[in-house]
């Protein structure tokens, strides 16, 4: 039996606006929505990398593919008025911690003002029934403690990226209270939620200064990989895991309204809380003659330990991870090797998506 938020019966024919659809997670999500019959309008800048999953998997096929910047309120107002989406999934962002140190102004502008513009366009145009704003697990004031963070923990953010996403959470809370208050749901008709996920892996991520893309790039060139924080522990998961959560959350908001509003964590099982060094060791076991690694500590701050408590999503949405970290790494390496072998990457990506959807 399919979960409502992951079924074609729910999504077929739904008008969906997906921002950031040219990115890594956005590309996977676009293909998933497409496979369930949704009418997808994607709005984003051009892909940030070359190559990109968006291009290799021909993600633009079969959708309304738009280019634009979420920092432009006028464009967003025109887009929503034209498309009249029922559901909005907001993934557009500057997503890299180290880039946020180099360009804090651009990071805050894209993440905070971009989110504000989208919320304001939704408020002015109307008609949207469900909106999921994707932030990050890094929105918490990380005290490096051993127990996992719950959705009601204090917000914070040491680096510009993390704090910009914490700002987005506060924005969502403010708009939710001021303009989309559950008590006036009959008037405005919108249920609003935020989604916080951990580090994601998967085929097609070519971003710079991300662990797995950096490792695969180095090893493909027969070079050792450089690690900045080998002892750092992260909540690793395949990109499809939180994407399933976003879909289930959006469907719950659409069908049942503001009872599902607020913040939601989507993190892996405790068994998949591993250090960077452990992840690389596991990856090396699947790579023929891995060239090894070297450690070069960075002077930029990054969290050493971060865990999420996803019990709310498990209990109320029925969401739970399907793939172990080992399975995630196997699928990621398999995708990368298929790309190197010149395979049809749309077919490979859809095969892995269907494999995940059929997993039990």
Contact call for residues 293 and 228 (beta carbons, < 8 A): no
Q: How many CA atoms lie within 13 A of 296 on its CB side?
A: 5
* pLDDT the model gives residue 269: 85
What does the pLDDT profile of the chain (360 residues) look like in tens digits?
357 689 999 999 999 999 999 999 999 999 999 999 999 999 999 999 999 999 999 999 999 999 999 999 999 999 999 999 999 999 999 999 999 999 999 999 999 999 999 999 999 999 999 999 999 999 999 887 778 999 999 999 889 999 999 999 999 999 999 999 999 999 999 999 999 998 899 999 999 878 888 888 888 888 887 777 788 887 789 999 999 999 999 999 999 999 999 999 999 988 777 888 888 888 888 887 766 666 666 555 455 578 899 999 999 999 999 999 999 999 999 999 999 999 999 999 999 999 999 986
The Cα–Cα gap between 126 and 120 comes to 10
Complete DSSP assignment for 10-53: HHTT-EEEEETTTSHHHHHHHHHHHHTT-EEEEEEPSPSSSS-H
Which class does domain 8-296+303-358 fall in? alpha beta
E strand map for 31-119: 39-44, 64-67, 87-90
The Cα–Cα gap between 142 and 157 comes to 7
**Neighbouring residues of 192: CB distance < 8 A, sequence distance ≥ 6:** 131, 133, 172, 175, 176, 180, 253, 258, 261
**115 secondary structure, DSSP code:** H
Return the closest-CA partner of residue 4 out of 183, 355, 253, 181. Answer: 253
Integer angstrom CA distances of residue 325 from 202, 211, 217, 285, 337 = 11, 14, 20, 13, 18
Cβ neighbours of 207 (radius 10 Å): 16
**CA pseudo-torsion sign 79, 81, 84, 85:** positive
Return the closest-CA partner of residue 69 out of 111, 128, 123. Answer: 111
**Neighbouring residues of 217: CB distance < 8 A, sequence distance ≥ 6:** none
Contact call for residues 25 and 243 (beta carbons, < 8 A): yes
Class of residue 287 by CB neighbours under 10 A (exposed 0-12, middle 13-18, buried 19+): middle
How close are the terminal C-alpha atoms of the chain, in Å? 11
* pLDDT the model gives residue 1: 36
Cβ neighbours of 290 (radius 10 Å): 18
The Cα–Cα gap between 292 and 264 comes to 38
Q: What angle do CA 136, 139, 142 make, to 5 degrees?
A: 120
Contact call for residues 268 and 237 (beta carbons, < 8 A): yes
Radius of gyration for the chain, computed over Cα atoms and rounded to the nearest angstrom:
19
**139 secondary structure, DSSP code:** G
């Amino acid at each position: 039996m399919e979960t409502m938020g992951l079924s074609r019966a729910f999504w077929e024919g739904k008008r969906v606006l997906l921002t950031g659809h040219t990115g890594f997670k956005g590309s996977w999500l676009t293909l998933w929505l497409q496979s369930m019959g949704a009418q997808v309008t994607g709005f984003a800048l051009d892909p940030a990398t070359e190559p990109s999953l968006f291009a290799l998997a021909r993600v633009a096929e079969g959708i309304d593919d738009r280019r634009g910047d979420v920092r432009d309120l006028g464009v967003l107002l025109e887009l929503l008025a034209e498309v009249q989406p029922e559901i909005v999934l907001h993934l557009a962002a500057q997503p890299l911690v180290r880039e946020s140190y180099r360009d804090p102004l651009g990071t805050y502008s894209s993440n905070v003002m971009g989110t504000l513009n989208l919320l304001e366009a939704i408020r002015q145009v109307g008609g949207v029934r469900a909106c999921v704003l994707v932030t990050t697990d890094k929105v918490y004031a990380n005290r490096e403690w051993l127990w996992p963070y719950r959705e009601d923990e204090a917000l914070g953010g040491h680096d510009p990226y993390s704090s910009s996403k914490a700002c987005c959470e506060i924005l969502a809370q403010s708009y939710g209270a001021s303009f989309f208050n559950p008590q006036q749901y009959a008037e405005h008709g919108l249920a609003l939620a935020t989604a916080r996920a951990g580090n994601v892996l998967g085929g097609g991520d070519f971003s710079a200064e991300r662990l797995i893309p950096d490792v695969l790039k180095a090893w493909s060139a027969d070079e050792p990989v450089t690690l900045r924080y080998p002892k750092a522990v992260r909540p690793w998961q395949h990109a499809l895991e939180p994407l399933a959560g976003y879909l289930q959350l959006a469907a719950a908001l659409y069908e049942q309204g503001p009872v599902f509003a607020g913040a939601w964590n989507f993190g892996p099982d405790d068994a998949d809380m591993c250090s960077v060094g452990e992840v690389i060791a596991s990856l090396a076991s699947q790579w023929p003659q891995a060239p090894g690694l070297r450690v070069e500590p960075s002077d930029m701050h990054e969290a050493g330990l971060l865990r999420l408590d996803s019990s709310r999503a498990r209990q109320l949405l029925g969401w739970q991870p399907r793939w172990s970290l080992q399975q995630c790494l196997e699928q990621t390496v398999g995708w990368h090797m298929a790309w190197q072998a010149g395979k049809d990457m749309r077919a490979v990506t859809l095969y892995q998506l269907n494999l995940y959807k059929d997993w039990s």
